[in-house]
Chain A
Amino acid sequence: MEDQVKGQSSGQGIGARVPRKEDARLMRGRGNYVSDIILPNQSEVAFLRSPLAHAVLRGITKPQGLEGSVYVAADLTGVKPMEAPCTVPNYKISVQHPLAHEKVRFVGELVAMAVAPTRAAAEDICERIEVDLDELPALVDAHEARRSATRVHDAWDDNLYLTLNYDNGFDEHARNAPVVVEREINMSRQAMVPLEGKAIVADWDHRADQLVVYTSTQVPHVIRIGLAEMLGIGEGQIRVIAPDVGGGFGYKCVLQPEEVCVAWLALTHKRPFRYVEDRREHLIAGANSRQHNYKLKAYADERGRLLALDAEVTIDGGAYSNWPFTVALEPGQATGNLPGPYDFRGYRCKTYCVATNKPGFLPYRGVARTSVCFAIELMIDAIARKVGREPWDVRNENLVQPQAMPYNNVARKHYDSGDYPKSLLAVRQDIDFETWRARQKQGEADGRRIGIGFATYCEQSAHGTSVFAAWGLPLIPGYDQATVRLLPDGSLEVRVGIHSHGQGMETTLAQIAHEILGVDISRIRVVHGDTGQTPFSTGTYASRSIVMTGGAVAKTCEALVPRLLAIGAHLMQCASNTVSMMPGRVVGPQASVSLKDIAEAWYRRPQLLPPDVDVNGLEATVGYRPQVDTGVFSYASHAAVVAVDPEVGDIEILDYVIAEDCGRMVNPMVVDGQTMGGATQGIGTALFEESPYDANGQPLASTFMDYLLPGPTEVPKFRIRHSETLSPYTAFGIKGMGEGGAIAPPAVLFNAVNDALRGLGVEVAETPLTPRRLLAAIEGARPKEPQP
């Protein structure tokens, strides 16, 4: 623990609120994104996308005289289709050709690509391509698709990617339950809307004999493996560079068909090509997340203690399963995480993941947990109303208690540590619950109705090998490595295979290195986002990077310590057992030498080195994985107060508080930022964002006119409180927390609105809570339920 004291006292180590190093460029608009890369002789690519949701592709006619500028599936010689296997029983593989082949399966699917000196000219060419389509019935609703005789994938015998059946003690615990509450809960489809969409520049480097692909991705090493497989060339012949990336959120953690197409162009023509996704393409072809339907039956005792839960979950998986994570991730995480932070022993869950004529489902920040949290938290409040008690009390009594930790939930998820009730109590105090309850009783002069909502969740983070291996995915995360090198001037270079795109890891990883070696963080350079410069990692997703790569950075720095001590001791002419590491120095009984002196000896004055010096020098690569790799669980409670205007359907968030615990915080300011960003996205899911479709599978929100995001005036000032329950399994007790903020807001805000509308007998359970949905519920209100 002495190390930590060291870091803390320098104000730069673990736990310090260090301003983000990357902000120096990002906040000045000097970030360097794929779209900023312009290479000589670069052509622009535009894609012609399917106008129909489901059709047989009879033929494509290229415009006369422009045949050489247009590519269709048959032109992509040597390109394999994307197929992501998964060993979960009865999972079906979807075959996705980068450019549509034989059939189109959603509006926005790539059909052809055109190449021209400018994007506008490439779009002009696309307009002149004739596509002969035979329209088929579109499967737009997952429940209907389950029963339909029409097939999204003709080779399948139904439209199910996967059905999961889980039962653990359900009958036994449900049997005598005196209280049964039944609800249907819907989370709608939405897009992820990173500030920067997809963007790719691919070129051939003759000197390196390599295909160089600049792409906006969270997972550069994974993209290299994927491209090598799809293009059928050696991995050494590909270098993937992810420069600054304007947000990922899961949208960029999989291989994209556009990446395959543009890389193929550069490979084939040995010159640069660029494609930049626009917002309309994103909103149409990227409407790929969150859509879950829950039919739930909760069994409880008279005080609302949950005894058993019966669930039928239907996930609208869209047309294709992604590579490498597959669409199976979503039902898997939904089934396992639906029990949430609650302690109950009977659970039955049937989860259908259904193929439909929509963009293929991708894992969005929170992966299934935003939806399951929404479902279980609405149920807890519904149970409380049913038994006539305060939702807060019922929630509190159902939580896993701290003395039960580590706790295996009813779906066999292993919760490593935490004090869930403490976080729930904290938000009750911070939101000033009693005061609001009193004000609520008085009523508002302007006719609005006040409501208070709570939600608690736990967030599996950094789940590793054993979890992914159980799903048998094409690519399973193992150890993460870091390469750390002390440079001749005593500064430090840290090379990592993850990618940082908003998470501030150029700072937090430097803080971890500082914690061990004491080098000033201004002199620590974190290198990421380039397969040519970094050790392998499966990349940034699943709230894993600070745990996995943070651990690797620590272990690697630790591996350098004895080498530094040995050289330092020799330079000071004292015994190596008499010296120790201090920030930036090796200290002996009488003197000390700086890391710079040690580096200078190693690199430039080797005659000064001890005869038995470690010949590996001042550079090391060490791998890391937590002792238990099933994930470490961060958790939080959120509470909100809303004012609902029942005449127009407006919802104003009057206050919003968060009490979170992600183990040891490397940088509380970064934790705050991640939490606020996530919670803002959660508000989007709750109140604004939706990708609706008409009966023919045509998307109805294809610009920001129709697809609304929360803006600064819609987002409250979040008040965040932290506690630190260290994980027993990870370096420093760190837990991942990148996704958490996005999990609870829909649950909290709906619970708050339902609390506000209790007197009207109104209950809402479908996102986003638009004014129209809210007013429709009010107009069609059910008869009143008994009041607590």
Chain B
Amino acid sequence: MKAPAFDYQRPRDLAAAAAALRGASGNAKLLAGGQSLLPMLNLRLARPGILVDISRIEELRGIEDRGDALRIGAAVTHAELEDRPLAGGAMLREVAHGIAYRSVRNRGTIAGSMAHADPAADWPLALAVLGATLIVDGAQGRRTMPAGDFMQGPFTTRLADGDIIIAVDVPKLSRGARFGYYKFCRKTGEFPEASAAAVFDPETKQARLYVGALPGAPQPLDDLAYDLAERGLPALTEAAVDRAVAQIPNLEPIARRMQRAAVTRAVRQAFAA
């Protein structure tokens, strides 16, 4: 399959990109790494008249240490996050390393992944559990959106037409904080069948726990996270995991079984001494 004809633009800065989107009145799509968009173009499932390539815009390519958070430019690739050790960003590095395989990571971007909103993708789960915030620019002006409720369903987000994700602010993990990230893939580089992520800070006694690879957006398991934060690993009983996973709607029994394992394993990583 070859894509139908389209125009291609490579604006030099964010303002030009925004103008290009506005000018196309709904007929344009942003192109970042192209790892999700281009296959859809080739399969003729997406047919934008114009591709606005933002992958080389400098303003979107930076990684900034803002003290309590890391600001990751929208067009930063998975590979860049994999290669670059960031203080307080160890989880970003591990998650990036586990996405697909290197040739996909070389091009795919953090914001492209969020905007594409595949329920099984890594960033929507990881950024949710990390409590990250997306910075979005568009007709309604510049605003922020919490990563945790950014995805509205499979392949749908809170972005409005013409919106551009500019960056993602990821709160740094404290020095004592630990994380767990487990996904079960049929083979290396595949999207997972089940996934879970956990973050635990023993000092503040705070924990967050999310499940991914669901029929819809990643889901928080707040009750279990709360118990774990209070009582540590002893709270991780089979019954507790069962109860937590049972709250997730629309899961058939086999998916439930896999997710139970994913939750258990992610929690063990985060809470093991």
Contact of B184 among A118, A123, A688, A771 (CB under 8 A): A771
Contact A775 B254 (CB under 8 A): yes
Contact of A779 among B39, B257, B264 (CB under 8 A): B257
- When distances are taken between beta carbons in the complex, the residues of chain B under 8 Å from A404 are none
- Min CB–CB distance B258 → chain A (angstroms): 5
Contact B254 A711 (CB under 8 A): no
Interface residues as binary, A642-676 with B (CB distance below 8 Å gives 1, 0 otherwise): 00010111100000000000000000000000000
Contact A775 B258 (CB under 8 A): yes
Residues of A within 8 A of B (CB-CB), count: 27
Residues A120 and B257 in contact in the complex (CB < 8 Å), given A648-B193, A703-B43: no
- When distances are taken between beta carbons in the complex, the residues of chain A under 8 Å from B1 are 123, 278, 280
Name the residue on A nearest B183 (C-beta): A648
- Min CB–CB distance A221 → chain B (angstroms): 33
- When distances are taken between beta carbons in the complex, the residues of chain A under 8 Å from B187 are 688, 708, 710-711, 713-714
Contact A770 B186 (CB under 8 A): yes
Contact A771 B258 (CB under 8 A): yes
- When distances are taken between beta carbons in the complex, the residues of chain A under 8 Å from B4 are 120, 123-124
Question: Is residue B194 contacting chain A, with contact meaning CB distance below 8 A?
Answer: yes
Question: Is residue A39 contacting chain B, with contact meaning CB distance below 8 A?
Answer: no
Question: Is residue B144 contacting chain A, with contact meaning CB distance below 8 A?
Answer: no
Contact B43 A280 (CB under 8 A): yes
Residues A711 and B193 in contact in the complex (CB < 8 Å), given A119-B2, A647-B261, A648-B262: no
Interface residues as binary, B110-134 with A (CB distance below 8 Å gives 1, 0 otherwise): 0000000000000000000000000
- Min CB–CB distance B77 → chain A (angstroms): 21
Question: Is residue A781 contacting chain B, with contact meaning CB distance below 8 A?
Answer: no
Question: Is residue B3 contacting chain A, with contact meaning CB distance below 8 A?
Answer: yes
Question: Is residue B206 contacting chain A, with contact meaning CB distance below 8 A?
Answer: no
Name the residue on B nearest A124 (C-beta): B4
- When distances are taken between beta carbons in the complex, the residues of chain B under 8 Å from A705 are 191
Question: Is residue A605 contacting chain B, with contact meaning CB distance below 8 A?
Answer: no
- When distances are taken between beta carbons in the complex, the residues of chain B under 8 Å from A649 are 254, 258
Contact A775 B257 (CB under 8 A): yes
- When distances are taken between beta carbons in the complex, the residues of chain B under 8 Å from A123 are 1-2, 4, 44
Contact of B3 among A120, A710, A713 (CB under 8 A): A120
- A425 vs B188: C-alpha distance when bound (angstroms): 34
- When distances are taken between beta carbons in the complex, the residues of chain A under 8 Å from B261 are 645, 647-648
Residues of B contacting A: mostly:
loop
Contact A711 B253 (CB under 8 A): no
Q: A residues 754-772 with Cβ under 8 Å of B?
A: 770-772
- Min CB–CB distance B187 → chain A (angstroms): 5
Contact of B186 among A118, A124, A771 (CB under 8 A): A771
Contact B188 A713 (CB under 8 A): yes
Q: A residues 230-250 with Cβ under 8 Å of B?
A: none
- Min CB–CB distance B172 → chain A (angstroms): 32
Question: Is residue B190 contacting chain A, with contact meaning CB distance below 8 A?
Answer: yes
Name the residue on A nearest B5 (C-beta): A120
- A648 vs B192: C-alpha distance when bound (angstroms): 11
Question: Is residue B85 contacting chain A, with contact meaning CB distance below 8 A?
Answer: no
- Min CB–CB distance B253 → chain A (angstroms): 6
Contact A779 B186 (CB under 8 A): no
Contact A648 B43 (CB under 8 A): no
Question: Is residue B260 contacting chain A, with contact meaning CB distance below 8 A?
Answer: yes
- When distances are taken between beta carbons in the complex, the residues of chain B under 8 Å from A772 are 193, 254
Interface residues as binary, B156-191 with A (CB distance below 8 Å gives 1, 0 otherwise): 000000000000000000000000000010111111
Name the residue on B nearest A447 (C-beta): B261
Question: Is residue A405 contacting chain B, with contact meaning CB distance below 8 A?
Answer: no
- When distances are taken between beta carbons in the complex, the residues of chain B under 8 Å from A280 are 1, 43
Question: Is residue A700 contacting chain B, with contact meaning CB distance below 8 A?
Answer: no
- When distances are taken between beta carbons in the complex, the residues of chain B under 8 Å from A779 are 253-254, 257
- A123 vs B194: C-alpha distance when bound (angstroms): 37
- When distances are taken between beta carbons in the complex, the residues of chain B under 8 Å from A575 are none
- A280 vs B40: C-alpha distance when bound (angstroms): 12
Residues A647 and B258 in contact in the complex (CB < 8 Å), given A714-B187, A771-B184: yes
Contact B2 A120 (CB under 8 A): yes
A-B contacts, 20 of them at CB < 8 A, read: A118-B2, A120-B3, A123-B1, A123-B2, A123-B4, A123-B44, A124-B5, A280-B43, A647-B258, A647-B261, A647-B264, A648-B193, A648-B262, A649-B258, A705-B191, A713-B187, A772-B254, A775-B258, A776-B254, A779-B257
Q: Beyond the given A649-B254, A771-B193, A779-B254, please list 9 additional residue pairs across the A-B interface where CB-CB is below 8 A.
A: A120-B4, A278-B1, A645-B261, A647-B260, A703-B39, A711-B188, A711-B189, A771-B258, A779-B257
Taking Cβ atoms with an 8 Å cutoff, the residues of B that contact A are 1-5, 39, 43-44, 184, 186-191, 193-194, 253-254, 257-258, 260-262, 264
**Nearest 4 CB-CB pairs, A to B?**
A120-B2, A647-B261, A713-B188, A648-B184
